[in-house]
Amino acid sequence: MNKRLFLYSAFFFVALLLYESWVSQFTSVENTNSTMNEVPLTNDVDEDPTNAKDVQQAKPQSKVYENVEVRTKNLKLKIDLESGSVIYAELLNYKNEFSPDSANVVIIDRDSSNYIASANLQDSDGNVFNDYTSIKNSLVLDQGDTLTITRNQSDGIAVRKSYYYEGNPYLISLDQTLTNNTSEPIRIRQYNTIQRGDDYKSNAMLYTYTGAAYYDEENKFNKIDFDEIKDQNFLYKTKSSWISMLEHYFFSAWIPQNNDSSESIYTRDVSDSFSNKYLIGVVSSYITVKPGDSQTFSSKLYVGPKLSEEISSISPGLDLTVDYGVLTFISAPLFWILSKLYVLVGNWGWSIILLTLLIKLLFYKLSETSYKSMAKMKKLTPRMTALKERYGDDKKKFSEALMKVYKEEKVNPLGGCLPILIQIPVFIALYWVIIESVEMRHAPFIGWIEDLSSKDPFFVLPILMGLSMFVQQKLNPPPADPTQQKIFMFLPIIFTLLFATFPSGLVLYWFANNILSIAQQYVINKRLSV
């Protein structure tokens, strides 16, 4: 009974992982119980930000616009002089593959993935201000340096965009200053959007979220996947917010700095006949600029990895882009402990093993209860076999006799259930820590394992994990049913094949957990003379 319970629990654990991955593809995750204020789009110019003539969707112009290349120590950006948008962002310290010859990770790329991070100003007629010039076509930004592009004005409205670097490795600041040189007041607001295509593919077995997300003070962190955007445009009235596009390990985000004004967050399907494209945007409330006056709007653009400690200081809730799912309240502390262990040992693989040991110690008493129950059940195996032979196919009499034996020996056949079930959320939470943490990406362990985020190239760890499952089976009572016995014999093989596709960091955790479980159960069995 407990043998079956243990293995069923293992299946349940894997099923939960797969189910959560499936749910992630079809539902948006909220990290609070707040209700999101959703209202349909209107046709009112003042209320509907989607009436803007988006640069991304503008018709081709006869004029050919150049790009300005901007570099920092960690980023390479290209800024389009038509709109002043960021149309390319390359991470100079991250490779696509674990190889020195591999190309760098590119997040924003207008040409290959329809990915654009745009910031502009919009007037009350829905017009955005385009057509910029720059005295430089390339610039290396150190802390305190600024790239300035200016609008070629013919209507008396001057716009200056200043991109500058303040020291955060993956953060670029932007000031947009409009000067009204006309004789009439104008109403303007800041207009930030992120657009991308749906070309990003993830491992079906290890699904991670790709799509839009936003944060505001009332509703906290919310995701809006591409299917939701395709089905319906949304408009959210809010204040003090940011918008983002997320993918596994990396993301981009606009963080407006004019928090004293109300804002609207919206989404839109901007697909055409050639490709699918989805947009999330945030606009501020209108401000009237009198003739001769100027108004500056500020934003910050983050393009980089999901490093929770580094991004938490940029804006409230930005660290929630490290998406641990519904068990964030467990995953976040686990990662904190894991990161502290890494500081001590300097290796993420050994940190995973040490964390597994700590978790085992935490649940030692619960595990002991479970293993004692299994040991007692194993001790009763000969009597259970004898009862099976005596009553044959008479399941009713067999069950009655078996319950009588349990009562006489004071054995609870479900004694190992609760400890295992209590630990399952912790297992799942740690799974998402290993899967989601960019720190594990291209992190070596020992020997042949050069990347804990990728599968074992030689399948050594999955095989060792399968062997450890086989040993565990031998320490547990076998099922009374011969058919079930044959099925359970194949479980280590099935799990080995399954885990062969998983990241080696996750397999390492499972293997370490199995070894510790075997040791604990062996001692208990010896103590009980099983």
Q: Span 151-159, mean pLDDT? A: 89
Find where tokens 């479970």 sit.
370
Q: Is the pLDDT of residue 19 over 50?
A: no
How high is the mean pLDDT of the chain?
A: 82
Q: Given this model, what pLDDT does residue 259 score?
A: 61
Phi then psi for residue 211, to 5 deg, are 160, -170
How many separate helices (H) and strands (E) can be counted in the chain?
13, 20
Q: Given this model, what pLDDT does residue 420 score?
A: 66
Q: Is the pLDDT of residue 7 over 50?
A: no
For the chain, what's the residue count? 530
C-alpha–C-alpha distance, residues 353 and 509, integer Å? 6
Phi then psi for residue 414, to 5 deg, are -105, 15
Collapse the DSSP code of 500 into the 3-class scheme (helix H, G, I; strand E, B; otherwise coil) and give the result.
coil
Residue 175's Cβ-count burial label (10 Å; 0-12, 13-18, 19+) is middle
Find where tokens 């100027």 sit.
294
Q: Given this model, what pLDDT does residue 129 score?
A: 92
Q: What is the pLDDT of residues 367-417, one digit of tens each?
A: 777 767 777 776 777 777 777 777 777 778 778 777 877 777 777 666 556
Who has greater pLDDT, 380 or 119? 119
Which residues have a Cβ under 8 Å from the Cβ of 491 and sit 6 or more positions away? 7, 10, 469, 473
Phi then psi for residue 87, to 5 deg, are -110, 0
Q: Span 281-296, mean pLDDT? A: 94
Q: Span 314-323, mean pLDDT? A: 92
Whether 78 and 112 have beta carbons less than 8 Å apart is answered as no
Q: Given this model, what pLDDT does residue 201 score?
A: 65
**Residue 193 binned pLDDT confidence (cut-offs 50, 70, 90):** very high
Whether 430 and 13 have beta carbons less than 8 Å apart is answered as no
Q: Is the pLDDT of residue 46 over 50?
A: no
C-alpha–C-alpha distance, residues 352 and 331, integer Å? 13
Helix or strand holding residue 231 (H, E): helix 226-231
Residue 288: C-alpha distances to residues 52, 53, 119, 173, 193 (Å): 18, 20, 19, 24, 22
What pTM, to 2 d.p., does this model score? 0.81
**Residue 25 binned pLDDT confidence (cut-offs 50, 70, 90):** very low
Which of 80-84, 269-273, 395-399 is the least confident region? 395-399
Which of 22-36, 284-298, 317-331 is the least confident region? 22-36
Phi then psi for residue 57, to 5 deg, are -105, 5
Which of 138-152, 190-204, 221-235, 510-524 is the least confident region? 190-204
For 337-366, give the secondary structure using H, E and C.
HHHHHHHHHCCHHHHHHHHHHHHHHHCHHH
Whether 176 and 120 have beta carbons less than 8 Å apart is answered as yes
The separation between CA 288 and the C-alpha centre of its own chain, rounded to angstroms, equals: 40
C-alpha–C-alpha distance, residues 398 and 391, integer Å? 6
Whether 141 and 66 have beta carbons less than 8 Å apart is answered as no
Q: Given this model, what pLDDT does residue 202 score?
A: 60
Q: Given this model, what pLDDT does residue 394 score?
A: 76
Q: Given this model, what pLDDT does residue 51 score?
A: 52
Q: Phi/psi zone of residue 114: left (φ > 0), alpha (ψ -120 to 50 degrees), beta?
A: left
Q: Is the pLDDT of residue 477 over 80?
A: no
> Nearest CA to 159 among 241, 67, 84, 94?
84
Who has greater pLDDT, 492 or 48? 492
For 371-395, give the secondary structure using H, E and C.
HHHHHHHHHCHHHHHHHHHHHCCCH
> Nearest CA to 267 among 286, 243, 251, 301?
243
Q: Phi/psi zone of residue 459: left (φ > 0), alpha (ψ -120 to 50 degrees), beta?
A: left
Q: Given this model, what pLDDT does residue 37 score?
A: 37
Q: What is the pLDDT of residues 437-469, one digit of tens each?
A: 999 999 999 999 999 988 999 999 999 999 998
Q: Is the pLDDT of residue 38 over 50?
A: no
C-alpha–C-alpha distance, residues 111 and 127, integer Å? 24
Whether 307 and 67 have beta carbons less than 8 Å apart is answered as no
C-alpha–C-alpha distance, residues 319 and 342, integer Å? 20
Q: Is the pLDDT of residue 280 over 90?
A: yes
Q: Across 13-27, 254-268, 391-405, 495-509, which has the greatest mean pLDDT?
A: 495-509
Q: Given this model, what pLDDT does residue 475 score?
A: 78
Name the amino acid, one letter, at 401.
A
Q: What is the pLDDT of residues 337-360, one digit of tens each?
A: 999 999 999 999 999 999 999 998
DSSP assignment string, 265-332? EEEEE---SS--EEEEEEEEPPEEE-TT-EEEEEEEEEEEE--HHHHTTTSTTGGGGS--GGGHHHHH
Who has greater pLDDT, 452 or 28? 452
Who has greater pLDDT, 522 or 251? 251
Q: Given this model, what pLDDT does residue 505 score?
A: 92
Class of domain 63-322: mainly beta
CA atoms within 13 A on the CB side of 341: 18
Long-range contacts of 63-68 (CB under 8 A, 24+ apart): 63/131, 66/137, 67/137, 68/134, 68/136, 68/137, 68/138, 68/139, 68/147, 68/149
Which of 40-54, 329-343, 425-439 is the least confident region? 40-54
C-alpha–C-alpha distance, residues 324 and 49, integer Å? 32
C-alpha–C-alpha distance, residues 395 and 407, integer Å? 18
Q: Is the pLDDT of residue 336 over 60?
A: yes
C-alpha–C-alpha distance, residues 498 and 281, integer Å? 40
Fill in the DSSP letter of residue 65: P
Q: What percent of the chain has pLDDT over 70?
A: 81
C-alpha–C-alpha distance, residues 380 and 4, integer Å? 15
Strands 116-123 and 235-239: unpaired
Domains of the chain, by residue range, sit at 2-19+332-527, 63-322
Q: What is the pLDDT of residues 156-184, one digit of tens each?
A: 999 999 999 988 899 999 999 999 999 99
C-alpha–C-alpha distance, residues 181 and 253, integer Å? 32
